């Protein structure tokens, strides 16, 4: 109350003084006394307040000193930051942590203390603290003395009064804990944990992947872990095995070896193996298993065991079967009429059948001895010294010298295959009394050197005797054929002339018909004589090929001109797709073979066409003649190359030929070093192929326009891209392959999706697929493209051929991004489409 009164009096006095109310006014003593009293009281209050202020200032200074001492003694880096982001105060720990003296820390922008990546995050947090008083403790990257510091940062506002302008003068106190080393430890610890987890997972996967069954057991023998193989072998799931005694899985009686091994290992800690244990299989018979029990020792005590086992039922059965097989083979070897022996390089007999034992004790023993000395070389007439001795003769009749077969195989390390050896007694010119066929194969040891030799001996004396009788008969046959051919040609020639003259005469129609038949019969007889002569020449070795460079294209064009009219007269179309190549071969023999194939193709084709082409295939030159004729039954494919064999000529009509052409053709092809093959489908046609050996091609110059198709093989080569051709029609496939080959592409053919996939599995990587839409077994070309693109990528170009003009085919082809061509296909269109598809693929590859 006194304070309120004094305050009222003081204000009144101030108003009086300020208003000048005392000037010229009379002041009563009472009033003056009250004013003076009030002044004395105010002065006393001021002195008291001054004293309190001095006391407060002293306390504040003491608190400030204590705060600064505490601030500097804090082991964590601390500094205050004002609203402008400038550091106002910093402690010694901050000086030490950031490597800057206090004088450089004070007044330094906070942005220079924080890594640039954390500027935005830190200042956003400080702004939120000033606005809402909320702070979340988190890490920031600071610039340390030597490297970046991971600082776990706390912040709070330092409460101070606002200034005269109303702006809060409060700073933010930042406390920064250096957790860089802790983070490194945590990272290392986490890495160690991750590595341990990866190791544990790896061991788990390894245990699950091994083929052996593995069970972990505790000290009582109960299952604690089981892998997938153990579950598969026993037929029990993991939930059925874990916690169950492993001894319950062991079959047999209580004394079974596996159960005893498990009990003993858990007792004494020794590893034990059981080779013939039996384990139970759920829902089936017990199986034979090999078990290994490995105890687990911890601190010297047995804490459990690991049991590994494998099912050896099949192996035991295989061992028994192998033993039985070995017994049978020993019996078989002993019963062979051939001598069979295996000897070590020191001459020890390791295996020998009865025949070999007899041969080793006779004059042939030297041929089977790996330690034998070279056979001595002596002239047949040399009788000085030892006049009579055994001689060894080769297949050519010359005396053998050098090492015998077994010794030669051991010394050279290479097999000696079917060496013919004749044995003759004495040095005279007497023929061998015994002939043997000997083969010796070295058996290499671990170091690669022979450690044994296996030899087989066959007595071919009877065969040699039959060969001599056969040669005598062949000589007699040759002489007879030559005489018969000569004697028959004269009357045949006369009959030919007479029948020709008779047909020129005006004779009745019946007589003319008989004369015509006579002329045809004589012509057949002449052909038969020519064939017999050819066969005689071939068998006598009088026909010898003379290989010289020849233009294959010229031969094919000449044959095309020769047979085009013949085919047309029969209502057939002959197409020829030549390739202009220079080959080293006998052109005359080659032309004769191809002429025979074309003759047969036209003769046995009633309607349709004949396709004649050539191309490269795996470095060799291959000629093919396709027809749409009657075809050849599969069981007769081998017989058509026999002498006088014909298809569909049971009546032996000589106007249909003599059945000697293919026999002669095969002989000629073999003389040229090539092969002749045939594939045929009854009622659809046949393909005869002649392949000359690799190396026959001298160069490769693709020809110009073919005789009847300007696009079939001509023009500049488009490239060497690999094209997979899939077409079930063999003739069309042949024609397409020849066209593509003529354009320079490498063509691989298939008749179905299955064949195409087999080629792809055989490492074929096509650059383009040309396929018919409808293929055998319900497959389509789009299905094939889908399969191949999943394997080689979606950019594999495809061209579909179809006779279906429906819009569905167009949509399917567009959806599959395949070019579509409708049959009949013009070669130019096909060539442009293939080229465009490959160019588009190349452009897309370059763009990516």
Closest residue by Cα to residue 462 from 432, 435, 425, 422: 435
Q: How far is CA 642 from CA 249, 481, 665, in A?
A: 69, 18, 11
H and E: helices and strands count for the chain? 22, 29
Name the fold adopted by 336-376+390-459: Beta-Lactamase (3.30.450)
**Pairing state between β 722-726 and 768-772:** parallel
Q: What is the 3-state secondary structure (H, E, C) of 241-285?
A: HCCCEHHHHECCCCCCHHHHHHHHHHHHCCCEEEEEEEEEECCEE
C-beta pairs of 70-78 under 8 Å, 24+ apart in sequence = 74/175, 76/175, 76/176, 76/177, 77/151, 77/175, 77/176, 77/177, 77/178, 78/173, 78/174, 78/175, 78/176
Q: What are the per-10-residue average pLDDT scores of the chain (848 residues)? A: 58 62 61 77 82 81 74 82 89 87 89 90 90 89 86 82 49 88 88 89 84 90 90 89 88 72 89 87 87 90 91 86 84 78 87 80 80 68 49 79 85 86 70 83 88 86 83 73 57 61 77 77 62 59 74 86 86 85 82 87 90 84 90 80 57 44 82 88 89 68 40 54 89 78 88 91 88 90 91 91 67 82 73 89 78
Closest residue by Cα to residue 86 from 71, 106, 70: 106
| Peptide linkage before 754 cis (omega within 30 of 0) | no
Does residue 6 contact residue 41 with C-beta atoms inside 8 Å? yes
pLDDT value of residue 529: 61
Residues 6+ apart with CB under 8 A from 410: 345, 370, 442, 450, 453
CATH placement of domain 544-710: 3.30.565.10
Name the fold adopted by 716-848: Rossmann fold (3.40.50)
Q: How many CB atoms lie within 10 A of CB 638?
A: 10
Distance from CA of residue 65 to its chain's centroid? 82
Matching fold, domains 74-178 and 210-317: yes
| Axis crossing angle, helix 2-19 with helix 29-73, rounded to the nearest 10 | 110
Rounded to two decimals, what is the model's pTM?
A: 0.36
Residues 6+ apart with CB under 8 A from 512: 503
Supply angle C-alpha 756, 846, 839, rounded to 5.
55
Does residue 848 contact residue 829 with C-beta atoms inside 8 Å? no
Closest residue by Cα to residue 580 from 675, 705, 711, 733: 705
Q: How far is CA 512 from CA 124, 515, 752, in A?
A: 123, 5, 55
Q: How many CB atoms lie within 10 A of CB 227?
A: 21
Residue 788 has phi, psi (to 5 degrees) of: -70, -35
pLDDT value of residue 7: 64
pLDDT value of residue 754: 92
SS3 661: helix
Does residue 614 contact residue 623 with C-beta atoms inside 8 Å? yes
Name the fold adopted by 74-178: Beta-Lactamase (3.30.450)
CATH for 210-317, options being 3.30.450.20, 3.40.50.300, 3.90.1300.10, 3.40.50.880 = 3.30.450.20
pLDDT value of residue 771: 93
- Domain-by-domain residue ranges, the chain? 1-73, 74-178, 210-317, 336-376+390-459, 467-540, 544-710, 716-848
The Cα 714–Cα 702 span in angstroms is 7
* CATH architecture assigned to 467-540: Orthogonal Bundle (1.10)
Q: What is the 3-state secondary structure (H, E, C) of 339-364?
A: EEEEEECCCCEEEECHHHHHHHHCHH
């Amino acid at each position: 109350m006194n304070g309120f009164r004094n305050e009222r009096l003081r204000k009144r006095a101030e108003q009086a003084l300020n208003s000048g109310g005392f000037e010229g006014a009379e002041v009563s003593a009472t009033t003056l006394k009250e004013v003076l009293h009030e002044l004395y009281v105010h002065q006393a209050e001021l002195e008291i307040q001054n004293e309190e202020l001095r006391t407060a200032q002293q306390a504040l200074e003491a608190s400030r000193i204590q705060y600064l001492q505490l601030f500097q003694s804090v082991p964590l880096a601390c500094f205050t930051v004002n609203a402008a982001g400038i550091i106002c105060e910093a402690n010694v720990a901050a000086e030490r942590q950031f490597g800057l003296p206090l004088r450089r820390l004070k007044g330094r922008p906070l942005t220079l203390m924080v890594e640039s990546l954390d500027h935005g995050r830190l200042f956003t947090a400080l702004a939120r603290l000033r606005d809402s008083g909320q702070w979340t403790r988190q890490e920031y990257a600071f610039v340390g003395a030597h490297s970046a510091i991971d600082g776990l940062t706390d912040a709070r506002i330092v409460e101070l009064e606002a200034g005269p302008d109303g702006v809060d003068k409060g700073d933010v106190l930042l406390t920064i804990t250096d957790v860089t080393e802790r983070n490194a430890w945590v990272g290392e610890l986490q890495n160690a944990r991750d590595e341990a987890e990866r190791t544990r997972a790896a061991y788990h996967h390894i245990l699950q992947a091994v083929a052996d069954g593995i069970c972990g057991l505790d000290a009582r023998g109960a299952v604690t872990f089981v892998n997938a193989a153990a579950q598969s072998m026993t037929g029990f799931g993991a939930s059925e095995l874990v916690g169950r005694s492993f001894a319950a899985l062991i079959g047999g009686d209580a004394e079974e070896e596996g159960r005893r091994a498990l009990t003993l290992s858990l007792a004494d800690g020794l590893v034990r193996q059981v080779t013939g244990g039996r384990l139970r299989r759920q829902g089936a018979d017990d199986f034979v298993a090999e078990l290994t029990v490995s105890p687990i020792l911890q601190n010297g005590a047995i804490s459990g065991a690991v049991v590994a086992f494998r099912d050896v039922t099949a192996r035991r059965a295989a061992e028994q079967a192998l033993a039985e097989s070995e017994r049978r083979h020993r019996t078989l070897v002993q019963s062979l009429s051939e001598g069979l022996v295996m000897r070590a390089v020191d001459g020890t007999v390791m295996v020998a059948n009865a025949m070999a034992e007899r041969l080793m004790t006779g004059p042939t023993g030297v041929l089977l001895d790996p330690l034998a000395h070279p056979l001595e070389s002596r002239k047949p007439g040399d009788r000085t010294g030892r006049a009579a001795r055994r001689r060894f003769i080769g297949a050519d009749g010359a005396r053998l010298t050098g090492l015998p077969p077994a010794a030669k195989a051991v010394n050279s390390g290479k097999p000696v295959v079917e060496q013919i050896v004749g044995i003759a007694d004495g040095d005279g010119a007497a023929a061998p009394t015994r002939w043997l066929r000997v083969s010796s194969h070295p058996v290499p040891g671990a170091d690669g050197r022979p450690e044994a030799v296996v030899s087989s001996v066959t007595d071919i004396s009877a065969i040699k005797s039959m060969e001599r009788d056969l040669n005598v008969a062949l000589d007699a046959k040759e002489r007879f054929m030559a005489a018969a051919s000569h004697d028959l040609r004269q009357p045949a020639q006369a009959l030919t002339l007479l029948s020709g003259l008779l047909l020129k005469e005006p004779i009745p129609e019946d007589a003319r018909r008989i004369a015509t038949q006579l002329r045809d019969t004589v012509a057949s007889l002449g052909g038969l004589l020519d064939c017999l002569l050819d066969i005689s020449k071939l068998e006598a070795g009088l026909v010898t090929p003379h290989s010289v460079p020849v233009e294959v294209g010229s031969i094919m064009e000449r044959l095309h001109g020769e047979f085009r009219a013949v085919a047309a007269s029969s209502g057939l179309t002959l197409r020829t797709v030549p390739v202009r190549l220079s080959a080293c071969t006998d052109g005359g023999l080659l032309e004769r073979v191809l002429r025979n194939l074309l003759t047969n193709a036209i003769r046995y084709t009633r309607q349709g066409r004949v396709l004649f082409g050539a191309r490269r295939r795996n470095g060799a030159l291959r000629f093919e003649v396709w027809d749409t004729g009657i075809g050849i039954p599969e069981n007769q494919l081998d017989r058509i190359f026999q002498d006088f064999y014909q298809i569909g000529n049971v009546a032996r009509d000589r106007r249909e030929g003599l059945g000697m052409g293919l026999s002669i053709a095969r002989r000629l092809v073999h003389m040229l070093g090539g092969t002749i093959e045939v594939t045929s489908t009854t009622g659809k046609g046949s393909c005869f192929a002649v392949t000359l050996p690799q190396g026959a091609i001298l160069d490769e110059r693709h020809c110009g326009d073919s005789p009847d198709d300007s696009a079939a093989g001509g023009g500049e080569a488009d490239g060497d891209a690999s094209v997979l051709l899939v077409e079930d029609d063999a003739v069309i496939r042949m024609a397409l392959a020849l066209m593509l080959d003529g354009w320079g592409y490498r063509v691989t053919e298939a008749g179905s999706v299955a064949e195409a996939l087999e080629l792809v599995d055989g490492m074929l990587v096509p650059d383009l697929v040309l396929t018919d839409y409808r293929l055998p077994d319900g497959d389509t070309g789009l299905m094939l493209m889908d399969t191949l693109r999943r394997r080689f990528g979606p950019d594999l170009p495809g061209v579909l051929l179809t006779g279906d003009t429906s819009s569905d085919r167009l949509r399917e082809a567009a959806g599959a991004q395949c070019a579509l061509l409708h049959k009949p296909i013009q070669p130019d269109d096909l060539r442009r489409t293939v080229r465009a598809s490959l160019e588009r693929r190349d452009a897309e590859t370059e763009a990516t």
